[in-house]
Amino acid sequence: MKINWRSIPWAKNSFAALSAACELSDITLHEVSSPENDITCYSLNSVNEPPHFRDEISDAECITIVGGPHPTACWEEVRQYADYVVIGEGGEYTMPALINMIASGSQILPAGVASKEQVVMPNHSVLLSSYPPFSVVKGGYTEISRGCPFGCGYCQTPRLCGRHMHHRRIDDIERATRVFRDVRFVTPNALAYGSDGIHLRLDKVEQLFKSLTGRRIFFGTFPSEVRPECISDASLHLIESYCANRKVHFGAQSGSNHVLQMLRRGHTAEDVMTAYDCCRDHGLTPIVDYIVGLPYESDDEQRLSVTQMKEISRGGGIVHVHHFTPLPGGTPLAGGTSARSILPDVQRELGRLAQSGKATGSWIDAEVRFFKEHEDQLS
């Protein structure tokens, strides 16, 4: 039986991780550009799912297995056109178990799988160090943490991976990254490594850095962004001392305290500016994320975000801006909310920032958020 993986550029890390997990069960995933017999697997998010892949999967003349953030959130919908849906974060365990079930002819679904006839909800999470982050297939990034204790209204992470942070062991990270000269990480909050996500353990972060001697470490930059309240003299001193990046990427999302409170962000607009000032004091360029068009923001609050963006850009920072996209998956902003229009004067100001090289992202086409490579944020 041939097991295929549908090649999708923005799912390379998923391919690397699941390929490595399948190898532990003597299953090889073959990368393909269209569905092929016997089984073809997909990883989809909420932007790339409709309509192209939905139609492709529905018309496929093979068994289809679909996982990822969108199928987890909308499994009842996805199982109408896919044969099997993997639900939740446990793909490393669930996908090999499902493939073995299909190969054996059994009808007993493993936990975390839905078919057209039945569903068995997930009852497990992944112990990261039980699985290699990659093997023959390399994703380019090493996942070191999952989960997030914060419940930001727009974010799927705590709904997909839980609110309890879990981490890959330092010795496993060191062993896995020996194949790289430049080491980059995937994590919801890089500076929370080794901690519960709220009470930082910078001693664990330093132990991680020390284990990677001889390699160029990129930490706190895409795709291992940090939260603004985690930025301090102590945390930036570690990045200065051990890391190659001279940029630090963190999320503001709004310049309005009212909007931040409604989003359940867990920090203030003042925290953002404190983090910005701290980065400048350490000679590091801050890259700061914003979302415009949030359903909670008034016209004045949308302009307040732009005012903060301009202040950051004047001091040498870069802002990364996107138009709000409601995501399914139990996110509080998923049901019945829609993006507000971006004010004409805000559009003009963002355009000026972009022309001067001080703003990146997309506040017009939401798909750019998922499809465009973030090369400008990697160093």
Residues of the chain with CATH 3.20.20.70: 140-377
* CATH code for the part of the protein at 140-377: 3.20.20.70
At 101 the pLDDT is: 97
Top mean-pLDDT range of 222-231, 337-346, 361-370: 222-231
- Determine the Cα–Cα distance for residues 362 and 80; give it in Å rounded to an integer: 32
Report how far apart, in Å, the C-alpha atoms of 119 and of each of 36, 75, 95, 113, 125 are: 25, 9, 15, 6, 17
DSSP structure string for 40-95: EEEE--TTTIIIIIHHHHHH-SSEEEEESHHHHHTHHHHTTTSSEEE-SSTHHHHH
At 336 the pLDDT is: 64
Q: Exposure of 281 by Cβ count < 10 A (0-12 exposed, 13-18 middle, 19+ buried)?
A: exposed
- Determine the Cα–Cα distance for residues 178 and 175; give it in Å rounded to an integer: 6
**Class for domain 3-120, per CATH?**
alpha beta
- Determine the Cα–Cα distance for residues 102 and 98; give it in Å rounded to an integer: 6
Residue 19: pLDDT over 50: yes
Residue 45: pLDDT over 60: yes
> pLDDT-based confidence at 367, cuts 50/70/90?
very low
Convert the pLDDT of each residue in 71-87 to its tens digit.
Answer: 988 899 999 999 999 99
Of 22, 3, 216, 40, nearest in space to 137 by CA: 22
Of 177, 247, 248, 162, nearest in space to 208 by CA: 177
CA 65 to chain centre: 21
At 9 the pLDDT is: 87
Half-sphere exposure of 182 (CA within 13 A, CB side): 10
Residue 370: pLDDT over 60: no
At 282 the pLDDT is: 97
pTM: 0.89
Residues of the chain with CATH 3.40.50: 3-120
> pLDDT-based confidence at 329, cuts 50/70/90?
low
At 144 the pLDDT is: 97
- Determine the Cα–Cα distance for residues 378 and 68; give it in Å rounded to an integer: 24
Convert the pLDDT of each residue in 169-211 to its tens digit.
Answer: 999 999 999 999 999 999 999 999 999 999 999 999 999 999 9
Cα radius of gyration (the chain): 21
Once rounded to an integer, what is the mean pLDDT over residues 217-238?
Answer: 97
Residue 372: pLDDT over 90: no
Alpha helices, DSSP H, located in 220-284: 233-242, 257-263, 269-281
Cα angle 50, 54, 59 (rounded to 5 degrees) comes to 155
At 377 the pLDDT is: 42
